[in-house]
Structure 1
Amino acid sequence: MSDSEGNESFSSALETPQVDIRYPLGKGEVESLRKKLDRIVLIQQTDSKYHKAVEDMKDQTSISLLVEPSFYGRHQATSVLAVATANDTYIFDIKALGCIFPEVARILEAEQPRKVVHYSHRIADHMRHKHRLTLGGICDSFVALCLARQERSPCSLPEAISLVLGLPMEDLVCEEVIGAIESRRNFTARPLTRSQLRYMAKMVQLQHLMHDRLIYGSICAEVQRMSLEFSHNYSGFTSCDVAINMGPSSRFGFHLIDPSYKMTDDRGITLPTPDEIDRQELEHIKSRK
């Protein structure tokens, strides 16, 4: 795999969608994100921070997950697992920890809390073959994006966030992500830089917001069903076959997503207004106090 292949962006991802799904962050969300990025918790050993993170994750109804690197699934070792809860962001340095320990593995395999991920078929394949665990309670933000746009073009997580939340790509990525040094782009070099930590925290927090925006109201059974089928895309395939179907522009498994599925009634997709978002954020903050 060449550096250029691993870093290639999807040319079709930021084209104007057929359905208007651009809904900027509300003021409350922007302020909440800023505060969360100021208190990123880096976990490199099973100390008090680790156990606090585990208890916090178990207490959630949903968490957002990011695995680096995961783009090629089983073909790359885990370096970092980022987790966003309602109030905090935990960066598990798997390279330093040595593995995903049983207490975290049980959370990842359980149906609750729900796991918001992007391209779950790649992440599920990675978890299955690198850690022998089956990711449970999957809610795929890429599946939700396909349903909202009513089509299924490749779209990386940063591109999806930029598309849905109206944020410029340059405000989302960092030099390490777009740079030429592969170990930095894959998050395998140590120490992790402050820019890398903030990038992962921003992605995993905004991924959750984006997914909730796309399926505003409740997690419908059809999205979960398609997410589950999509996450099992690479099950039963040999490593050679998986490698062939994991190219940046691959549409492998996209047939499992029905982009014409209506998440609301015939009036189209109903998304919240900025005022509704601010009100919900304030109510959520009050409920956590």
Structure 2
Amino acid sequence: MDDDTSNCEDINNTSTESFATADSWERKSVKTKSLQPHELLSLDHKLNRIVVIQQTDQSYHQALKDIRDQTIISVLVEPSFYGRHCKTSVIVIATANNTYVFDLKALGVIFPELCVLLEAEYPRKILHYSHRICDLLFHQHKLIINGVSDTFVALCVARQDRSHCTLQDAITIVLEISPNELTCHEITSANESVRNFTARPLSKSQLRYLAKLAILQHKLHDTLIYGNICSDLLEMSGKFSCEFNKQTKSDEVAMKMHPGSTTGFDCINPYYQISTSIE
């Protein structure tokens, strides 16, 4: 634990200097992808079956089983903007089919079974501004989150720009969703405890708002990773997969399909400098 803390301190001490001396980036336009009708319908269905967990009952254990079966999950923590200076009120986890709102004010603590999942490398956790969330969970709950995939980092890489961008703004930009669809009247309330989700009970609007962000954060991640950062890899894979389709002579194809054949390997761009160890 002490080694991890010292490492964090070393990084924090040099982060501002590193940013100031880093090479400037030439900003690129990010490839966007608006939600299709079936995706909007699926989103609506998911928002109608949000599971709120306030005790370690059957719903709690079913949620853990679902989360454990995933390869990647979307995680939202509120409030978290000021990291360790906040007290966790809710943790929202969206899996492929369900969204769970863990009410930490009711639960009191993050129980060991959920801690194990959050600290494990898998399932991977999609977060936005993970530096704030991980600071909160480390200092308030002694949790070290592993397997993090940060959508803010992905957005910075995709558009070659290190400017601030909230999760709502990133969703608006990449998924082409109006900001009006990513809000509820409670988050503009004059009552701070309502705005930061520490007041109880949580309203239906607040729950839908949190769930929608968690679900769309997952889609944001996919669009940034596969639609932008890994787009060249996908293009190469597409060309490679079609290598034999264009060849009509079966006998020639058969000759090129022997175990040692390198047919089609030329479409793998050497820019990626893939190295193969020689036994």
Is the TM-score greater than 0.5? yes
Q: CA deviation at 1:21?
A: 2.6
Q: Are the equivalent residues in 2 in contact too, given 1:80–1:187 (CA < 8 A)?
A: yes
Q: CA deviation at 1:266?
A: 10
1:180 to 190, 205, 222: 190
Amino acid at match of 1:188: T
Q: Superposition pairs for residues 235-246 of structure 1, below 5 Å? A: none
Q: Are the equivalent residues in 1 in contact too, given 2:184–2:205 (CA < 8 A)?
A: yes
CA–CA distance in structure 2, aligned partners of residues 153 and 93 of structure 1: 32
TM-score (norm 1): 0.69
**Structure 1 counterpart of 2:83:** 73
CA–CA distance in structure 2, aligned partners of residues 92 and 267 of structure 1: 36
2:136 to 121, 126, 133: 126
**Structure 1 counterpart of 2:124:** 114
Where does structure 1 differ by over 6 angstroms across 4 or more consecutive aligned residues?
none
1:153 match: secondary structure:
coil
**Structure 1 counterpart of 2:72:** 62
Amino acid at match of 1:145: L
Q: CA deviation at 1:150?
A: 1.1
Q: Are the equivalent residues in 2 in contact too, given 1:147–1:263 (CA < 8 A)?
A: no
Which structure's residues are more often helix, by fraction? 2
**Structure 2 counterpart of 1:42:** 52
**Structure 1 counterpart of 2:207:** 197
Q: Superposition pairs for residues 17-166 of structure 1, below 5 Å? A: 18-166=28-176
**Structure 1 counterpart of 2:222:** 212
Q: Are the equivalent residues in 2 in contact too, given 1:40–1:90 (CA < 8 A)?
A: yes
1:151 match: secondary structure:
coil
CA–CA distance in structure 2, aligned partners of residues 266 and 116 of structure 1: 21
Q: Are the equivalent residues in 2 in contact too, given 1:77–1:130 (CA < 8 A)?
A: yes
Q: Are the equivalent residues in 1 in contact too, given 2:226–2:234 (CA < 8 A)?
A: no
**Residue-by-residue CA offset, 1:10-31 (whole Å, 9 max, x unaligned):** xxxxxxx741432101222111
Q: Superposition pairs for residues 222-241 of structure 1, below 5 Å? A: none
CA–CA distance in structure 1, aligned partners of residues 190 and 166 of structure 2: 18
**Residue-by-residue CA offset, 1:216-270 (whole Å, 9 max, x unaligned):** 18xxxxxxxxxxxxxxxxxxxxxxxxxxxxxxxxxxxxxxxxxxx96454999xx
CA–CA distance in structure 2, aligned partners of residues 100 and 106 of structure 1: 10
TM-score (norm 2): 0.72
Q: Are the equivalent residues in 2 in contact too, given 1:64–1:116 (CA < 8 A)?
A: yes
2:100 match: secondary structure:
strand
**Residue-by-residue CA offset, 1:88-134 (whole Å, 9 max, x unaligned):** 00000001000100000000000000000000000110010010010
Q: Are the equivalent residues in 1 in contact too, given 2:188–2:195 (CA < 8 A)?
A: yes
Segment drifting more, 20-29 vs 149-158? 20-29
Q: 1:24 to 1:263 in 2, by over 3 A?
A: same
CA–CA distance in structure 2, aligned partners of residues 128 and 103 of structure 1: 17
CA–CA distance in structure 2, aligned partners of residues 23 and 140 of structure 1: 19
CA–CA distance in structure 2, aligned partners of residues 83 and 118 of structure 1: 13
Compare CA radii of gyration and give the structure with the larger one: 2
Unaligned runs of 5+ in 1: 1-16, 218-260, 269-289
Q: 1:267 to 1:72 in 2, by over 3 A?
A: same
CA–CA distance in structure 1, aligned partners of residues 104 and 210 of structure 2: 14
